[in-house]
Amino acid sequence: MESMTAVPPPPMSLLAELTHRCPLQCPYCSNPLALEPKAGELSTEEWCDILDQAAALGVLQVHFSGGEPMARKDLPVLVRHAAKAGLYSNLITSGVLMNRDNLAELSAAGLDHVQLSFQDADPQQAEIIGGMKGAQPRKIEAARLVVEDGMPLTLNFVIHRLNAERVPAMFDLAEELGARRVEIAHTQYYGWGLKNRAALLPTRKQLEDTEKAVAAARERFGNRMAIDFVTPDYYADEPKPCMGGWGQRFLNISPSGRVLPCHAAETIPGVTFPNTREASLADIWGKSELFQMFRGVDWMPEPCRSCDRKEVDWGGCRCQALALTGRADATDPVCRRSPDRGLVDAALSEIAGEPEAFVYRRYTTPE
Ligand code: SF4
Ligand code: FES
């Protein structure tokens, strides 16, 4: 395959992070450690313009996310605008702000799909993780409303050391609620996840049990329920092709308009982050320093450069490489061929004994 640097293909998906505001406080939140204040958020008009630009660029799907995207009162306007622009729309939500009226409004605006996050199948444990009392019944009610409306529902469970044993119960809950798809996704370790890594990393036994539970559920549900399983890559020998390759398929836009190849890219030092308030999406995607930085294979160091998987996993995750080695252009240390694999093995060897206390993500920036 030729280098992707010259003419990038159009992006497939846009992750629109409408706000960092969120009533939950999950200790594995993928948002940056420094959250953006409400005052800096893009306006309704700015988001509508972005949706038009994204559609013109070739984007097919928009994922409205956050924080909690339902904290934005103009969400139905944005959903309607996305539908008008021909974009398939997905709402990634905790569900705690959903009620019959606002869901009906979103449905009438043309929302295509809802992805609802659950912290656990056990209500008490879920609320310990999310840090919000009464969250679980609200989520269950949200799931019922979505299914009642006839919209396809995906349940997302983030798996870690404190809930891994309840993966079978998560499938039961998904079946009971009528979900069409379930994501069993292990925590990723950057941002808040890295801060809480010692408490969140599952043991190898837990991973094996989760794999068995997923295999059993696939057998049990067949075509009735699609199951996505994201393994904890610390236990893998090769990294995941993060975001399908840097600047190849996805665009992330932060609440204040920064355009990023992935949600954690803002951790990369020494780069000017392009902003929709200053440049067009097409120019950012095609020409910006940030998007070209790790696109394709030309940037790769050894051992990636001469590896036959370089166009399979694209050298792994740049943000994980940065978080663990201090260098965003290093081979992802998850890879067995990486000279830095010892950093991952050291983290795995530290998980014996009682998990550490969490550091919770709290939305404390000025409103
Ligand atoms: Fe992937 Fe690089 Fe490891 Fe090869 S050496 S498997 S390209 S991370
Ligand atoms: Fe940024 Fe993987 S999260 S490249």
Which ligand sits closest to the CA of 312?
A: 1
When mean pLDDT is compared across 2-11, 49-58, 112-121, 315-324, the lowest value belongs to 2-11
Q: What is the mean pLDDT of residues 146-171?
A: 95
- Three-class SS of residue 250? strand
pLDDT of residue 360: 59
Q: Which amino acid, one-letter code, is at 115?
A: Q
Assigned token pair, 54: 């994204």
Q: Band of the pLDDT at 32, cuts 50, 70, 90?
A: low
Contact 90, 114 (CB under 8 A): yes
Report the C-alpha gap between 210 and 213 in whole angstroms.
Answer: 5
Q: For the packed helices 135-149 and 100-109, what is the interaxial angle rounded to 10 degrees?
A: 40
Q: Is the ipTM of this complex over 0.95?
A: no
Gap from CA of 184 to ligand 2 centroid (Å) = 19
pLDDT digits (tens, 9 = 90+) for 254-264: 999 999 999 88
Residue with the nearest Cα to atom 7 of ligand 1? 310
Q: What is the mean pLDDT of residues 299-326?
A: 95
Contact 238, 309 (CB under 8 A): yes
Residue with the nearest Cα to atom 2 of ligand 1? 304
Place of tokens 């070739």: 58
Report the C-alpha gap between 273 and 265 in whole angstroms.
Answer: 9
Return the DSSP state at 367: -
Gap from CA of 200 to ligand 1 centroid (Å) = 26
Which is nearest to 165 in space by CA: 208, 112, 134? 208
Task: Tell me the whole-structure pTM to 2 decimals.
Answer: 0.90
Assigned token pair, 256: 């204040």
In ligand 2, the atom with minimum distance to the C-alpha of 242 is 2
Residue with the nearest Cα to atom 2 of ligand 2? 317
pLDDT of residue 193: 78
Radius of gyration of the CA atoms of the chain, in A: 20
Residue 262 phi, psi dihedral angles, 5° rounding: -160, 165
Residue partners of 242: CB distance under 8 A and separation at least 6:
262, 314, 316, 317, 318, 319, 320, 332
pLDDT of residue 57: 96
Q: Band of the pLDDT at 31, cuts 50, 70, 90?
A: low
pLDDT digits (tens, 9 = 90+) for 204-216: 999 999 999 999 9
pLDDT of residue 357: 62
Q: Band of the pLDDT at 94, cuts 50, 70, 90?
A: very high
User: Before 67, cis peptide (omega within 30)?
Assistant: yes
3-class SS shares of the chain: helix, strand, coil, % to 5: 40, 15, 50
> How many alpha carbons fall within 13 Å on the CB side of residue 266?
19
Assigned token pair, 325: 């080695």
Gap from CA of 314 to ligand 1 centroid (Å) = 7
Residue partners of 218: CB distance under 8 A and separation at least 6:
227
Over the chain, what is the mean pLDDT? 90
Residue 201 CB coordination number (10 Å): 23
